[in-house]
Amino acid sequence: MRDQKLFTNKEMMLRNFKEVIDNLSDAESYITDVVNGKRQGNSDLGRMLDDAMGQFSTDDMEYLEKIVASNFEDALMINSLARLQQNQLRISEKLNNIFAESFNTSNNNNTITSNNAN
């Protein structure tokens, strides 16, 4: 269980798209080979491909493109916000260090002054 990797949204989306593209490439190669006579067609497989591709209308594809674009934009925004927060933390840390250094220097000067007065 410890060896499992947690994927970010971007990694998961890229992995899923790669799998879809690979599957579509395989289907395209099969169809091209059958059409060009390089391969014997399988009517059952042809019907399954036709059913699968016939399920999606142009509206469905446009909707899918909008969802993907929206999710990608959301992932980019989250990534930008995370980087902004990291930069803010770094700046806060530097300011705190400068303040602490200034405070320590001020206290040391006060201690030296009070010791000289005694």
Q: What is the pLDDT of residues 12-45, one digit of tens each?
A: 878 888 998 898 899 889 989 999 999 998 999 8
Tell me: do 63 and 27 sit in the same domain. no
Which pLDDT value is given to residue 95? 92
The answer to whether residue 99 sits within a structural domain is yes
List the domain range (segments joined by +) for residue 110.
Answer: 57-118
In a domain, 2, yes or no: no
Claim to verify: residue 87 and residue 62 sit in the same structural domain = yes
Q: Which structure tokens are listed for 64?
A: 């899918």
Burial environment of residue 85 by CB neighbours within 10 A (0 to 12, 13 to 18, 19 or more): exposed
d(CA 41, CA 32): 10
